[in-house]
Amino acid sequence: MHQHTEQLTGIILAGGQGTRLKPLTDNLNKHLLPIGPHPMIYYPLQALANLSIKRIIIVTGKEHIPAFQDALKDAPEQLGFSQLDFIPQDKPAGIADALLQVESHVQGRLCVMLGDQLLGSNIAHAANAFLTQHSGALVFIKQVPDPSRFGVAQIQNNKLINIEEKPVNPKSNLAVAGIYFFDESVFKICKSIQPSIRGEYEITDVNNHYIKQGKMNFVTLEDWWADVGTFESLDYARQMVQSQGINRMNK
């Protein structure tokens, strides 16, 4: 269906403590909280499967893997992909560190999603745009009312010139969504960055590396998007899944 996307491996990063969603997350990984008829993480799986991706890897804490395996045992058959693998991240040390856990398990280009990112529409057009690039990366941006919760994009002359991680005084209202297309050089870049002030290896530093190389493109998300980390965003996602639908193929 999407001529190039068999070349992509799908990665879903589902670490983190879900602390802002306690007590719901006391005994359940945040990504297994129900949204509509499925656990949250089902929707990123569906988004990747809709790109004709056949192999998807989920990175999460070792202690959570059995619950994920149980919740998703029918997902490959339901969604039409062939292989679902789980890789543990021993200690949460940031998104770039989580991504490094898969290095020895993959070849070629990647579509990386955070497990709490939900989208109204499919992203096939962006996948095809990325795969026509010779190298580099592609991110998604979206206008938001509260940009300081996110990596914030600066655009100049329709080019992405910088991303700032959770700034107190954002330079724009453009959030970078937790969905990324990367070429195979991403692992080298992940190894080259230094930990941030909060002691994590930040994906924003990886993305800025691509920007400095002149190898970063972006697509604007037109449809609804939820980054589910708070009660407010969980409620919003549940409302939107019910009223608007999710991963719709007609847009």
- List, as one string, the DSSP characters of the chain: --TTGGGPEEEEE--S--GGGTTTTSSS-GGGSEETTEETTHHHHHHHHTTT--EEEEEE-GGGHHHHHHHTTTHHHHHT-SEEEEEE-SS---HHHHHHTTGGG--S-EEEEETTEEESB--HHHHHHHHHSSS-EEEEEEE-S-GGGSEEEEEETTEEEEEEES-SS-SSSEEEEEEEEE-TTHHHHHHHPPP-TTS---HHHHHHHHHHTT-EEEEE--S-EEE--SHHHHHHHHHHHHHT-SSBTT-
Residue 251 located in a structural domain: no
Residue 174 located in a structural domain: yes
The reported pLDDT for the residue numbered 119 is 98
The reported pLDDT for the residue numbered 90 is 83
Q: Which domain holds residue 48?
A: 5-243
Residue 248 located in a structural domain: no
Residue 47 located in a structural domain: yes
Residue 206 located in a structural domain: yes
Q: How far apart are CA 85 and CA 112, in angstroms?
A: 14
Q: How many domains does the chain have?
A: 1
The reported pLDDT for the residue numbered 1 is 44
pLDDT tens per residue across all 251 residues of the chain? 445 555 899 999 998 878 999 999 999 999 999 999 999 999 999 999 999 999 999 999 999 999 999 999 999 999 999 999 999 998 889 999 999 999 999 999 999 999 999 999 999 999 999 999 989 999 999 999 999 999 999 999 999 999 999 999 999 999 999 999 999 999 999 999 999 988 999 999 999 999 999 999 999 999 999 999 999 999 999 999 999 999 998 64
Residue 109 located in a structural domain: yes
The reported pLDDT for the residue numbered 5 is 55
The reported pLDDT for the residue numbered 175 is 98
The reported pLDDT for the residue numbered 4 is 52
The reported pLDDT for the residue numbered 177 is 98
Residue 249 located in a structural domain: no
CATH of the domain at 44: 3.90.550.10
The reported pLDDT for the residue numbered 92 is 80
